[in-house]
Amino acid sequence: MSDARRADGRLAGKVALITGGARGQGAEEGALFAAEGATVILTDVLDELGEAAAGAIDGAEYVRLDVRDEAGWAAVVDGVVARHGRLDVLVNNAAIDLVKRLDATTMEEWHRLIDINLTGTFLGMRTAAAAMRAGNHGGSIVNISSVAGLEAVNGHGAYSTTKWAVRGLTKNAALEWGRYGIRVNSVHPGVIETPMVSDTRVMTDPATRAKMERAITLGRFGQPRDIAAMVLFLASDESSYCTGQEFTVDGGIHH
């Protein structure tokens, strides 16, 4: 079912680009953004899922983008501005996980996580900010980090490193681009039920899941809608005085 765009929604008239939009948090953000009036462009490398996600959202588009590709970023953002006249919101949602001890992590795995989770975020921020400055209308960039970017998480050393780096990158960009009216914030999800973690032990083993749920103050795993609601707030003018900040959405697991 498609979502009708609201002319009076919190993102009415805004154009939003969401990476990792084929499924999970990205797809949920796209649906919520469109329901709040935004023109939505989803990107991913999972073309079949991406086309289906965009097809389920009123007026949304899907564009293939490997976030590691500098020229690809330029082409996608230029295309968005050419078709819609502006870019107001970027959500850097694309990322991969790796459950592995640091001493077992290969250089290939290390570089892949850095390239997608960190360099991809940097390229998106830099490219989108240039378009926002050229349009002279400001904008909002939301980087999806993790609670693993706030504290050490056993067995996720490489992943955690990238998410700590996204946190620092967010703060520096906010400092540099505030003069242009561009706000940059990070969101730090806890355990969220998405396809990215569907095959991990915490999701597949009932005893492990129950133990983790007991450790969460609110007693449940998060859903993509929980993250989308926070991202919507940061994308909208309701958060117009928020920049360079960290917003934790984890049910209370991180204290």
**Quick check: 109 pLDDT over 70?**
yes
Q: How confident is the model at residue 5 (pLDDT cuts 50, 70, 90)?
A: low
Task: Return the pLDDT at 2.
Answer: 44
**Quick check: 52 pLDDT over 70?**
yes
**Quick check: 54 pLDDT over 60?**
yes
Task: Return the pLDDT at 198.
Answer: 65
**Average pLDDT in the 170-194 region?**
96
**Average pLDDT in the 108-137 region?**
98
**CB contact at 8 A, 210 and 245:** no
* Nearest CA among 228, 96, 64 for reference residue 162: 96
**Average pLDDT in the 157-161 region?**
97
**Average pLDDT in the 222-226 region?**
94
| List of residues 6+ apart from 131 with CB closer than 8 A | 77, 78, 80, 81, 86, 87
Average pLDDT of every residue of the chain: 94
Question: Has residue 199 been placed in a domain?
Answer: no
**Quick check: 203 pLDDT over 60?**
yes
**Average pLDDT in the 199-219 region?**
81
Percent of the chain scoring above 70 in pLDDT = 96
Query: pLDDT tens, 132-151?
Result: 999 999 999 999 999 999 99
**Quick check: 3 pLDDT over 70?**
no
Angle at which helices 24-35 and 47-55 cross, to 10°: 20
Distance CA 211, CA 206 (A): 9
**Average pLDDT in the 9-20 region?**
98
**Average pLDDT in the 224-244 region?**
98
Task: Return the pLDDT at 205.
Answer: 79
Question: Has residue 209 been placed in a domain?
Answer: no
Question: Has residue 54 been placed in a domain?
Answer: yes
Task: Return the pLDDT at 65.
Answer: 98
Question: Has residue 214 been placed in a domain?
Answer: no
Give the range of the structural domain holding residue 245, as residue numbers without chain letter: 15-192+224-249
List, by residue number, the catalytic residues: 159
CATH code for position 56: 3.40.50.720
Question: Has residue 203 been placed in a domain?
Answer: no
Query: pLDDT tens, 86-96?
Result: 999 999 999 99
**Average pLDDT in the 169-175 region?**
98
Distance CA 213, CA 75 (A): 43
Question: Has residue 141 been placed in a domain?
Answer: yes
As given in the structure block, the two tokens for residue 88 are 């107001």
Of 17-26, 117-126, 155-164, 212-221, least confident by mean pLDDT is 212-221
Q: How confident is the model at residue 206 (pLDDT cuts 50, 70, 90)?
A: confident
Number of domains into which the chain is organized: 1
Question: Has residue 89 been placed in a domain?
Answer: yes
Question: Has residue 137 been placed in a domain?
Answer: yes
